Amino acid sequence: MGIRGWEEFLCFIVELFKINLLLTHNIKVFEFISEQLWKWEKIQSQAGFFLEYFINKNLRLISTLATN
């Protein structure tokens, strides 16, 4: 996970603590929590995609350099 991923994760944790402090029985709070969890899952999947892309790109570059 890159720096950006850690920033997003820390923001997510801070939001959860804020929600815990202000928790009410309002359904909007629970909708907000589920929305944040969905955003975090999306960030993780995007990070995995980009990591795989850059690893494959670097492996191709190393392979090309090795054959030359």
Q: Say how many domains are in the chain.
A: 1
Rounded to a whole number of angstroms, the CA Rg of the chain reads 19
**What pLDDT is stored for residue 15 in this prediction?**
80
Domain that holds residue 47: 3-67
CA 57 to centroid of chain Cα atoms: 21
pLDDT range class, residue 24, cuts 50, 70, 90: low
Q: Distance between CA atoms of 21 and 65, rounded to whole angstroms?
A: 56
**What pLDDT is stored for residue 2 in this prediction?**
64
Q: In degrees, to the nearest 5, what angle opens at C-alpha 67 toward C-alphas 64 and 68?
A: 90
**What pLDDT is stored for residue 3 in this prediction?**
67
